[in-house]
């Protein structure tokens, strides 16, 4: 037995007092004790704010993204070392893969967002707001790292993924973190944190770990801090209502267990691929992690006429699912994490059984492979039948956090939607159907009550990540009972740790603050063309004012011949009655192409290639006889890392292409991206 150490104030400390005993969920053997008595949470939080915060905030988003990538690669190399302890939580190899490699994959996903957020310590969000007629006053939004600490209170079911899916956006945003995993499974979290600290990849004070109960950890929170919670809705609501959370308006992101529903479409009758997919998916969500998932299927909604078919098919599949030691060949379902959970789930099953009947499974009569059932935390899958889901409400209120679910009949799609929504807010729902109308109507009817909806059928089943799998790029959370919070979601998850500030002023000054050129700001002409300069030499606002070109009818005809675009407005002057055009109009893409011909310096130089177009607007018709020119301005610079020693050191430069006519009025605006070589190649 070991005494789990907490990592605080830059060092490992053994806990004081007795602590919580942690057991191997399969063998019942004592693994460790975890405690947090005697910790000074005010000192711990202040250390994060004063040491970890400045270290992270001085890094740019791009640098923090590279830090995440480096950490992900480091942990990926050591991933196999976490599996033995994961098995001790009752997880199978597949369960462990989701927890361990799924968590590391989330780090990779957030590391890739560094290009979106750019190479500043803050993020310029959205579009500029024009606030004056003459263009001398404008507004914008910037998002800056909060000057506090993120406190992450995690559940017992995913000791690694639960930590990494929160740390990834937190570190990318530039905030230090205090991680408080469940005291039941923190022995696995601690092993990974030891590796993270030993790697030296994170700045000092960026990460601290509390392995015990963490009582009092939220006492010192301030308005600059952020709290995230994953766990039961009851505990989450209690923490969210603490006086210090309310008084300081502390952002509190809550992801609570919910009564998620999976719906079998009326078209998915036995013999169809969709029926088989439904049975397979529901079964997987019951046995994966032994049902200990906040996204697991708790309510199985089935057309009334298909209840018996589903019950028989699901029963056969469950009956052939071996339960036991995850390290024994053939075992497909492990155990709950602790005998305390066995008692809790059993209590909930008995409550549900007071009003509904068990139709699949038995609480006491089941076999376990490779282990002693009396010593481990094993639990048999239990399926109820609620034959009147509108009258028998317990199925919509009581959650047994284990391999437990309830079949419910519905008579119409409207009823199915109503029943699904009776969960009072869920993290996820799924609809299995080959009918596009059914899918559309279900999504529109149930979306307000769900954070995510999976539409599943034969066309996507092979590549689907499944009902219970949140993705780093998509939002994870849900309304009502599910907590009302949002996690993950790509950039959305990062913004949770940033403070949004509206800034106003002259475009030149907003340019100076954001380091992105704002339309109407000061433009600086230099004697050397921008295409002759390396990445480091270019300055924001540096502008080339090009020669001009008078557009002719021959230009329009020739471009139509080259492009094949013979749209009537360009080619037939007799068809313009009733349109906005006065005469044949030049193609918008001709205007942009001609602009490129005007602003490009054709000789070989630091510009390696055109990387693409972010934005393009044609704001005024261009007719034959009009003269156009271009103001070509360095808008933004985005650094890039070398992918290998042989790679060319380079960055991406965004240029504003402002095409104007002889009156000075803009006729087209575009942002182009170019890849530009750096002067220094080391």
Q: How confident is the model at residue 429 (pLDDT cuts 50, 70, 90)?
A: very high
74, 202: one domain = yes
Residues near 475 by Cβ (< 8 Å), separated by ≥ 6? Answer: 451, 452, 486, 487, 488, 489, 492, 493
Least confident window among 114-118, 506-510, 529-533: 114-118
Least confident window among 14-18, 110-114, 158-162, 536-540: 14-18
Least confident window among 92-101, 307-316, 567-576: 567-576
DSSP string across 317-379: HHHT--BB-TTSTT--B---S-HHHHHHHHHHHHHHHTTSEEEE--SS----BSS-TTTS---
DSSP string across 212-253: S--TTTTTT--TT-EEEEEE-HHHHHHHHT-HHHHHTT--EE
Quote the strand ranges of 257-296, DSSP E.
260-264
Neighbours of 137 (CB within 10 A): 16
195, 268: one domain = no
Q: How many residues are recorded in the chain?
A: 682
Q: Is the pLDDT of residue 468 over 90?
A: no
Asked if 657 and 628 count as a contact pair (C-beta separation under 8 A), the reply is no
436, 529: one domain = no
> What amino acid positions are annotated as catalytic residues?
255, 294
What's the pLDDT at 326? 92
pLDDT tens track for 215-257: 999 999 999 999 999 988 889 899 999 999 999 999 999 988 8
Helices 186-199 + 161-173 axis angle, to 10: 40
pLDDT tens track for 131-166: 888 889 999 999 999 999 999 999 989 999 999 999
282, 365: one domain = yes
149 — phi, psi (to 5°)?
A: -130, 145
Residues near 630 by Cβ (< 8 Å), separated by ≥ 6? Answer: 544, 545, 546, 595, 598, 599, 657, 658, 659, 660
Give the CATH number for residue 319: 3.40.309.10
Is position 339 within any domain? yes
628 — phi, psi (to 5°)?
A: -120, 150
Q: How confident is the model at residue 104 (pLDDT cuts 50, 70, 90)?
A: very high
Is position 511 within any domain? no
Is position 477 within any domain? no
pLDDT tens track for 164-223: 999 999 999 999 999 999 999 999 999 999 999 999 999 999 999 999 999 999 999 999
485 — phi, psi (to 5°)?
A: -105, 175
HSE-up (13 A, CA, CB side) for residue 582:
6
**Mean residue pLDDT across the chain:** 93
Could you tell me the residue range of the domain that residue 396 belongs to?
260-470
449, 535: one domain = no
Q: Measuring CA to CA, how many Å separate 61 from each of 138, 398, 558, 639? A: 25, 43, 46, 11
Is position 426 within any domain? yes
- Count of domains observed in the chain: 3
Is position 230 within any domain? yes
281, 229: one domain = no
- Cα separation, 464 vs 282, in Å, equals 14
Is position 482 within any domain? no
Asked if 633 and 593 count as a contact pair (C-beta separation under 8 A), the reply is no
Domain boundary among 454, 483, 499: 499
What's the pLDDT at 234? 87
Give the CATH number for residue 43: 3.40.605.10
250, 268: one domain = no
**Of 373, 358, 292, 282, which Cα lies nearest the Cα of 325?**
373
Both tokens of residue 568? 């009537």
Give the CATH number for residue 630: 3.10.129.10
Asked if 28 and 375 count as a contact pair (C-beta separation under 8 A), the reply is yes
548, 577: one domain = yes
**Of 227, 163, 257, 144, which Cα lies nearest the Cα of 501?**
144
Q: Is the pLDDT of residue 682 over 80?
A: no
237, 324: one domain = no
What's the pLDDT at 250? 94
Tell me, rounded to whole angstroms, the distance of Cα 16 from its chain centroid. Answer: 37
Q: Is the pLDDT of residue 652 over 70?
A: yes
For residues 542-566, average pLDDT: 94
Is position 513 within any domain? no
**Of 367, 342, 344, 356, which Cα lies nearest the Cα of 389?**
356
414, 360: one domain = yes
Q: Is the pLDDT of residue 556 over 60?
A: yes
Q: Is the pLDDT of residue 557 over 90?
A: yes
What's the pLDDT at 591? 95
What's the pLDDT at 130? 87
234, 268: one domain = no
286, 232: one domain = no
For residues 432-460, average pLDDT: 95
Q: Is the pLDDT of residue 18 over 70?
A: yes
Percentage of the chain with pLDDT > 70?
Answer: 100
Q: How confident is the model at residue 1 (pLDDT cuts 50, 70, 90)?
A: low
Is position 505 within any domain? no
Q: How confident is the model at residue 681 (pLDDT cuts 50, 70, 90)?
A: confident
For residues 92-107, average pLDDT: 94
């Amino acid at each position: 037995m070991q005494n789990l150490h907490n990592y605080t104030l830059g060092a490992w400390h053994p806990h004081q007092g007795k602590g919580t005993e942690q057991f191997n969920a399969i063998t019942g053997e004592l693994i460790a004790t975890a405690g947090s008595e005697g910790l000074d949470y005010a000192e711990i939080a202040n250390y994060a704010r004063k040491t970890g915060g400045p270290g992270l905030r001085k890094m740019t988003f791009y640098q923090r993204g590279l830090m995440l990538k480096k950490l992900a690669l480091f942990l990926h190399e050591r991933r196999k070392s976490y599996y033995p302890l994961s098995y001790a939580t009752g997880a199978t190899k597949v369960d462990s893969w989701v927890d361990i490699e799924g968590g590391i994959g989330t780090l990779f996903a957030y590391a890739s967002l560094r290009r979106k957020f750019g190479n500043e310590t803050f993020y310029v969000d959205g579009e500029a707001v024009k606030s004056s007629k003459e263009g001398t006053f404008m507004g914008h939004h910037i998002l800056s790292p909060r000057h506090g600490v993120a406190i992450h209170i995690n559940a017992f079911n995913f000791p690694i993924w639960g930590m990494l899916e929160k740390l990834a956006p937190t570190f990318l945003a530039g905030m230090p973190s205090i991680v408080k995993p469940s005291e039941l499974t923190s022995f696995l979290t601690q092993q990974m944190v030891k590796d993270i600290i030993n790697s030296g990849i994170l700045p000092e004070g960026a990460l601290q770990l509390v392995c015990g109960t963490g009582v009092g950890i939220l006492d010192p929170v301030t308005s600059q801090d952020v709290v995230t919670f994953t766990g039961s809705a009851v505990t989450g609501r209690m923490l969210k209502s603490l006086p210090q959370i309310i008084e300081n308006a502390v952002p509190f992101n809550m992801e609570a267990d919910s009564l998620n529903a999976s719906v079998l479409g009326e078209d998915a009758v036995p013999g169809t691929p969709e029926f088989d997919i439904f049975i397979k998916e529901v079964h997987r969500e019951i046995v994966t992690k032994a049902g200990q998932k906040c996204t697991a299927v708790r309510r199985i909604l089935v057309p009334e006429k298909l209840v018996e078919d589903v019950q028989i098919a699901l029963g056969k599949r469950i009956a052939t699912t071996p339960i036991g030691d995850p390290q024994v060949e053939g075992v497909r379902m492990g155990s709950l994490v602790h005998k305390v959970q066995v008692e809790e789930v059993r209590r909930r099953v008995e409550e549900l059984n007071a009003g509904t009947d068990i139709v699949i499974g038995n609480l006491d009569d089941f076999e376990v492979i490779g282990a002693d059932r009396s010593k481990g935390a094993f639990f048999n899958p239990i399926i109820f039948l609620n034959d009147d889901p509108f009258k028998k409400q317990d199925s919509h209120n009581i959650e047994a956090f284990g391999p437990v679910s309830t079949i419910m009949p519905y008579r119409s799609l409207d009823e199915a939607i109503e029943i699904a929504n009776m969960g009072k807010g869920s993290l996820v729902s799924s609809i299995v159907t080959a009918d596009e109308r059914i899918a559309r109507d279900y999504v529109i009817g149930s979306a307000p009550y769900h954070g995510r909806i999976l539409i599943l059928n034969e066309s996507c089943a092979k590549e689907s990540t499944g009902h219970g799998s949140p993705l780093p790029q998509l939002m994870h959370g849900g309304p009502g009972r599910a907590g009302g919070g949002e996690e993950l979601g790509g950039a959305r998850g990062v913004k949770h740790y940033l403070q949004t500030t509206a800034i106003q002023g002259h475009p030149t000054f907003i340019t100076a603050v954001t380091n992105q050129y704002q339309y109407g700001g000061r433009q600086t002409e230099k004697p050397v063309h921008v295409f002759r300069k390396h990445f480091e030499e270019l300055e924001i606002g540096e502008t080339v004012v090009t020669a001009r070109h008078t557009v002719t009818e021959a230009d329009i005809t020739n471009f139509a011949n080259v492009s094949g675009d013979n749209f009537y407005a360009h080619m037939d002057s007799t068809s313009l009655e009733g349109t906005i055009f006065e005469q044949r109009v030049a193609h918008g893409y001709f205007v942009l192409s001609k602009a490129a011909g005007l602003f490009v310096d054709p000789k070989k130089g630091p510009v390696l290639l055109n990387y693409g177009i972010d934005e393009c607007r044609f704001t005024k018709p261009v007719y034959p006889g009009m003269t156009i020119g271009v103001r070509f301005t360095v808008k933004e610079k985005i650094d890039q890392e070398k992918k290998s020693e042989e790679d060319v050191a380079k960055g991406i430069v965004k240029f504003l292409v402002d095409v104007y006519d002889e009156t000075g009025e803009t006729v087209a605006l575009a942002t182009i991206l170019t890849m530009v070589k750096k002067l220094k190649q080391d």
